Amino acid sequence: MSFCLGLTGSIGMGKSTTAAMFVDEGCALWDADAAVHRLYAKGGAAVGPLGREFPQAVQDGAVDRGVLKQIIGAAPEALARIEAIVHPLVAQDRAQFRDQAGSDILVFDIPLLFETGGGAGMDAVACVSAPPDIQESRVLDRGTMTRDQFQLIRDKQMPDAEKRARSDFVIVTDTLDHAREQVQDIVRQIRARQAHA
Protein backbone atom coordinates (compact mmCIF):
# COMPACT_ATOMS: atom_id res chain seq x y z
CA MET A 1 0.00 0.00 0.00
CA SER A 2 1.49 3.34 -1.06
CA PHE A 3 1.93 6.20 1.41
CA CYS A 4 0.10 9.35 0.28
CA LEU A 5 1.93 12.58 1.09
CA GLY A 6 0.25 15.91 0.41
CA LEU A 7 2.66 18.68 -0.58
CA THR A 8 1.50 22.26 -0.18
CA GLY A 9 2.85 25.76 0.19
CA SER A 10 2.02 29.32 -0.76
CA ILE A 11 3.18 31.14 -3.88
CA GLY A 12 6.97 31.53 -4.18
CA MET A 13 7.81 29.01 -1.46
CA GLY A 14 9.68 26.64 -3.81
CA LYS A 15 7.08 23.89 -4.05
CA SER A 16 7.78 22.82 -7.65
CA THR A 17 11.51 22.55 -6.96
CA THR A 18 10.80 20.57 -3.78
CA ALA A 19 8.34 18.29 -5.62
CA ALA A 20 11.12 17.44 -8.11
CA MET A 21 13.38 16.49 -5.18
CA PHE A 22 10.81 13.91 -4.03
CA VAL A 23 10.82 12.45 -7.57
CA ASP A 24 14.65 12.23 -7.33
CA GLU A 25 14.12 10.07 -4.20
CA GLY A 26 11.93 7.61 -6.13
CA CYS A 27 8.50 9.02 -5.22
CA ALA A 28 5.71 9.28 -7.79
CA LEU A 29 4.32 12.82 -8.25
CA TRP A 30 0.81 14.03 -9.05
CA ASP A 31 0.63 17.76 -9.77
CA ALA A 32 -2.77 19.48 -9.43
CA ASP A 33 -1.82 22.33 -11.80
CA ALA A 34 -0.55 19.88 -14.43
CA ALA A 35 -3.81 17.91 -14.10
CA VAL A 36 -5.83 21.06 -14.84
CA HIS A 37 -3.62 21.75 -17.88
CA ARG A 38 -4.31 18.20 -19.15
CA LEU A 39 -8.05 18.64 -18.63
CA TYR A 40 -8.03 22.00 -20.49
CA ALA A 41 -5.84 20.83 -23.40
CA LYS A 42 -7.18 19.65 -26.76
CA GLY A 43 -9.07 16.39 -26.12
CA GLY A 44 -9.06 17.02 -22.35
CA ALA A 45 -12.03 15.93 -20.26
CA ALA A 46 -12.99 19.51 -19.26
CA VAL A 47 -13.19 20.90 -22.81
CA GLY A 48 -16.67 19.53 -23.62
CA PRO A 49 -18.48 20.39 -20.37
CA LEU A 50 -16.87 23.84 -20.07
CA GLY A 51 -17.60 24.51 -23.75
CA ARG A 52 -21.29 23.73 -23.21
CA GLU A 53 -21.44 26.07 -20.20
CA PHE A 54 -19.16 28.81 -21.58
CA PRO A 55 -18.82 28.40 -25.39
CA GLN A 56 -16.52 31.44 -25.67
CA ALA A 57 -13.97 29.77 -23.32
CA VAL A 58 -13.06 27.10 -25.88
CA GLN A 59 -10.64 28.22 -28.60
CA ASP A 60 -9.16 25.81 -31.16
CA GLY A 61 -10.46 22.78 -29.24
CA ALA A 62 -8.87 23.73 -25.91
CA VAL A 63 -9.98 25.77 -22.90
CA ASP A 64 -8.47 29.26 -22.93
CA ARG A 65 -7.58 30.16 -19.31
CA GLY A 66 -7.38 33.85 -20.21
CA VAL A 67 -10.98 33.81 -21.42
CA LEU A 68 -12.05 31.95 -18.24
CA LYS A 69 -10.41 34.72 -16.17
CA GLN A 70 -12.33 37.34 -18.16
CA ILE A 71 -15.59 35.43 -17.59
CA ILE A 72 -14.95 35.27 -13.83
CA GLY A 73 -13.95 38.94 -13.80
CA ALA A 74 -17.22 39.93 -15.47
CA ALA A 75 -19.39 37.52 -13.44
CA PRO A 76 -17.73 36.28 -10.22
CA GLU A 77 -20.51 33.72 -9.68
CA ALA A 78 -19.20 31.90 -12.78
CA LEU A 79 -16.28 30.62 -10.68
CA ALA A 80 -18.54 28.26 -8.72
CA ARG A 81 -19.96 26.87 -12.00
CA ILE A 82 -16.45 26.35 -13.38
CA GLU A 83 -15.28 24.65 -10.16
CA ALA A 84 -18.36 22.39 -10.16
CA ILE A 85 -17.22 21.08 -13.56
CA VAL A 86 -13.46 21.01 -13.02
CA HIS A 87 -13.05 19.80 -9.40
CA PRO A 88 -14.70 16.37 -9.93
CA LEU A 89 -12.54 15.85 -13.05
CA VAL A 90 -9.39 16.75 -11.09
CA ALA A 91 -10.44 14.33 -8.33
CA GLN A 92 -10.95 11.62 -10.97
CA ASP A 93 -7.48 12.30 -12.43
CA ARG A 94 -5.96 12.08 -8.92
CA ALA A 95 -7.78 8.80 -8.17
CA GLN A 96 -6.57 7.32 -11.46
CA PHE A 97 -2.97 8.28 -10.59
CA ARG A 98 -3.35 6.74 -7.12
CA ASP A 99 -4.58 3.47 -8.65
CA GLN A 100 -1.88 3.27 -11.32
CA ALA A 101 1.28 4.72 -9.71
CA GLY A 102 3.79 2.06 -8.77
CA SER A 103 5.80 3.85 -6.09
CA ASP A 104 5.87 3.24 -2.32
CA ILE A 105 5.38 7.00 -1.75
CA LEU A 106 2.91 9.07 -3.76
CA VAL A 107 3.36 12.85 -3.52
CA PHE A 108 0.35 15.04 -4.28
CA ASP A 109 1.42 18.60 -5.17
CA ILE A 110 -1.71 20.62 -4.31
CA PRO A 111 -1.20 24.37 -3.74
CA LEU A 112 -4.59 24.86 -2.05
CA LEU A 113 -4.57 21.53 -0.17
CA PHE A 114 -5.93 22.91 3.12
CA GLU A 115 -8.19 25.49 1.47
CA THR A 116 -9.95 22.78 -0.56
CA GLY A 117 -10.02 20.11 2.18
CA GLY A 118 -7.63 17.91 0.20
CA GLY A 119 -5.64 16.98 3.29
CA ALA A 120 -8.33 14.54 4.37
CA GLY A 121 -7.24 11.81 1.94
CA MET A 122 -3.54 12.04 2.80
CA ASP A 123 -1.47 9.95 5.23
CA ALA A 124 0.62 13.06 6.01
CA VAL A 125 1.12 16.61 4.73
CA ALA A 126 4.40 18.44 4.06
CA CYS A 127 4.38 22.23 3.84
CA VAL A 128 7.05 24.07 1.86
CA SER A 129 7.99 27.34 3.52
CA ALA A 130 10.49 30.19 3.18
CA PRO A 131 11.07 33.52 4.93
CA PRO A 132 8.74 36.30 3.60
CA ASP A 133 11.58 38.29 1.96
CA ILE A 134 12.79 35.20 0.04
CA GLN A 135 9.20 34.37 -0.98
CA GLU A 136 8.61 37.88 -2.35
CA SER A 137 11.92 38.15 -4.19
CA ARG A 138 11.40 34.72 -5.84
CA VAL A 139 7.99 35.73 -7.17
CA LEU A 140 9.09 39.19 -8.34
CA ASP A 141 12.27 37.74 -9.95
CA ARG A 142 10.06 35.67 -12.28
CA GLY A 143 8.98 38.94 -13.88
CA THR A 144 5.41 37.72 -14.37
CA MET A 145 3.66 39.88 -11.75
CA THR A 146 3.90 43.12 -9.84
CA ARG A 147 4.35 43.42 -6.06
CA ASP A 148 0.65 44.38 -5.78
CA GLN A 149 -0.46 41.28 -7.73
CA PHE A 150 1.78 39.08 -5.57
CA GLN A 151 0.40 40.56 -2.34
CA LEU A 152 -3.16 40.08 -3.60
CA ILE A 153 -2.52 36.36 -4.29
CA ARG A 154 -0.63 35.87 -1.01
CA ASP A 155 -3.40 37.54 0.98
CA LYS A 156 -6.01 35.19 -0.55
CA GLN A 157 -4.01 32.12 0.51
CA MET A 158 -4.05 30.60 3.98
CA PRO A 159 -1.24 32.22 6.03
CA ASP A 160 2.07 30.35 5.91
CA ALA A 161 2.15 30.03 9.72
CA GLU A 162 -1.23 28.28 9.70
CA LYS A 163 -0.18 25.90 6.91
CA ARG A 164 2.98 25.01 8.84
CA ALA A 165 0.99 24.43 12.05
CA ARG A 166 -1.43 22.07 10.26
CA SER A 167 1.30 20.05 8.52
CA ASP A 168 3.12 16.91 9.67
CA PHE A 169 6.38 18.06 8.06
CA VAL A 170 7.76 21.52 7.24
CA ILE A 171 10.41 21.93 4.54
CA VAL A 172 12.28 25.23 4.78
CA THR A 173 13.52 26.15 1.29
CA ASP A 174 16.09 28.80 2.23
CA THR A 175 18.75 26.91 0.20
CA LEU A 176 18.54 24.03 -2.28
CA ASP A 177 20.88 21.84 -0.19
CA HIS A 178 18.88 22.42 3.00
CA ALA A 179 15.60 21.65 1.19
CA ARG A 180 17.06 18.43 -0.29
CA GLU A 181 18.32 17.25 3.13
CA GLN A 182 14.83 17.74 4.60
CA VAL A 183 13.16 15.91 1.68
CA GLN A 184 15.58 12.98 2.08
CA ASP A 185 14.89 12.89 5.82
CA ILE A 186 11.09 12.85 5.27
CA VAL A 187 11.41 10.03 2.71
CA ARG A 188 13.60 8.06 5.17
CA GLN A 189 11.05 8.55 7.97
CA ILE A 190 8.14 7.45 5.78
CA ARG A 191 9.99 4.38 4.46
CA ALA A 192 10.98 3.40 8.00
CA ARG A 193 7.35 3.76 9.10
CA GLN A 194 6.22 1.68 6.09
CA ALA A 195 8.72 -1.06 6.93
CA HIS A 196 7.29 -1.39 10.46
CA ALA A 197 3.63 -1.18 9.40
Count of alpha carbons within 13 angstroms of residue 192, beta-carbon side: 6
Q: What is the pLDDT of residues 127-186, one digit of tens each?
A: 999 999 999 999 999 988 899 988 888 888 889 999 999 999 999 999 999 999 999 999
pLDDT at 144: 87
Q: What is the pLDDT of residues 54-111, one digit of tens each?
A: 999 999 999 999 999 899 889 888 988 999 999 999 999 999 999 998 899 999 999 8
pLDDT at 163: 94
Looking at residues 32-36, what average pLDDT do you find? 93
- 105: nearest Cα among 165, 176, 169, 14: 169
Looking at residues 31-42, what average pLDDT do you find? 94
What is d(CA 193, CA 88) in angstroms, rounded to the nearest whole number?
Answer: 32
1-27+104-197 is classed in which CATH architecture? 3-Layer(aba) Sandwich (3.40)
**With DSSP H G I counted as helix, E B as strand and the rest as coil, what are the percentages for the chain, rounded to 5?**
55, 15, 30
Would you kindly state where each structural domain of the chain is located, as residue ranges?
1-27+104-197, 33-102
- pLDDT of 188 > 80? The answer is yes
pTM for the whole thing? 0.89
